Amino acid sequence: MAQRRIARRAGELGPLYRGREGQWSWALHRITGVVVILFLFAHVLDTALVGWGPDAYNRVVNVYKNPIVGVMELGLVAAVLFHALNGLRIMAIDFWPKLADQNRRLILGTVGLYVAAMIPIAVVMLLHVASEVH
Amino acid sequence: MALDTARTGVPPSRGGGPGGRRGGAVRAGREAPSTRGAEFWWWVFMRVSGIVLVFLVIGHVLIMHVFGGGIERVNFQFVAVRWQSPLWRTWDWLVLVLAIVHGINGLRVIALDYIRPTGVRIAVSWSFYVIGVVLVALGSVIVFTFDPCRWPGIHC
């Protein structure tokens, strides 16, 4: 164990990053960002349909009221919230570089805040999905 | 401040630093580019738009998806009433512009991490810029020209 830790410390990327919280939050930031922008492409186009009248817009928006799409909607909100909170952490370190030494704690705090916010949001949104099933 | 670290670089123990291989930054954020070219201003834009989007998008998500019954109530009539308010039109337009530009630039930065040849990098960058301009233009036209009263059966 100790040797593995030393090997990590000696690594090119230093002890803080590779295979640790920093790398995971970096990867998640990219994945959630891509998820959100891909949805946004669709969302700009579906909202643009208001320019083509009620029939076109309502038909497409009804797709979002499907329960399966409702669960995907919860995933989208989860991605948005993670990207937002993790982005705030990144900016905090950008503007106060000394915080880099607290990175592990900041990430744990970010994840804690994220989970605490996601629980009530998930409950409310799953209730919406349940009402769509009936 | 961020600019100082950009100029002086970061100690090697903290990894890459400006000019090093991209993606090697140990600190959570991408290093500010060391010269004030386009990439520096993109770096600044990502932070400024990021802060604004945290408020606008979380507000949008809570209002449209969590509180008030969620998207079940959303239809053409709902949009007709909502976009009578200049506040919501402005809010939605700001989210459109900032989120599309922030997201497209994010995609561009990710793509360029995996592309080496200079010509291809420039072509890919410009492709993303064009997609962004088209989406922002389409969305802006819709937001500012939307007139629900044109359609029969809509209360406005």
Output DSSP code: residue B146: -
Return the DSSP state at A66: S
Mutate to test the interface with B, among A72, A81, A94 (most CBs of B within 10 A): A94
Q: Which of A24, A26, A28, A37 to mutate to test the interface with B (most CBs of B within 10 A)?
A: A37
Instruction: Please name the residue of chain B whose CA is at the shortest distance from the CA of residue A124.
Output: B66
Question: What is the C-alpha separation between A60 and A121, in angstroms, rounded?
Answer: 25
- A3 confidence band (pLDDT: 50, 70, 90): low
Token duo for residue A25: 């939050």
For residue A99, the 8-state DSSP code is: G
Q: Do B142 and A100 touch (CB under 8 A)?
A: no
Decide: pTM greater than 0.80.
Answer: yes
Angle between helices A103-133 and A67-95 (to 10 degrees): 160
- Candidates B134, B54, B136; CA nearest to A84 is B54
B73 reaches A (C-beta below 8 A): no
pLDDT of residue A22: 86
Read off the pLDDT of residues B106-145 as tens digits, 9 standing for 90 and up.
Answer: 999 999 999 999 999 999 999 999 999 999 999 999 999 9
CA distance B117 to B114: 10
pLDDT of amino acid A133: 82
Question: ipTM, 2 decimals?
Answer: 0.85
Tokens of A28: 């998640």
What pLDDT is stored for residue B6 in this prediction? 39
What pLDDT shows up at residue B109?
Answer: 95
Neighbouring C-beta atoms of residue A19, cutoff 10 Å: 10
B142 and A25: CB-CB below 8 Å? Answer: no
Report the alpha-carbon distance of residue A77 to residue A71 in Å, rounded: 10
Per-residue pLDDT of chain B (156 residues; tens, 9 = 90+): 344 333 333 333 333 334 333 444 444 456 777 778 888 999 999 999 999 999 999 999 999 999 988 899 999 999 999 999 999 999 999 999 999 999 999 999 999 999 999 999 999 999 999 999 999 999 999 999 999 988 888 877
Q: Which residues contact B91 (CB under 8 A, 6 or more apart)?
A: B56, B59, B60
Residue of A62, A47, A54 lying closest to B151 (CA atoms): A54
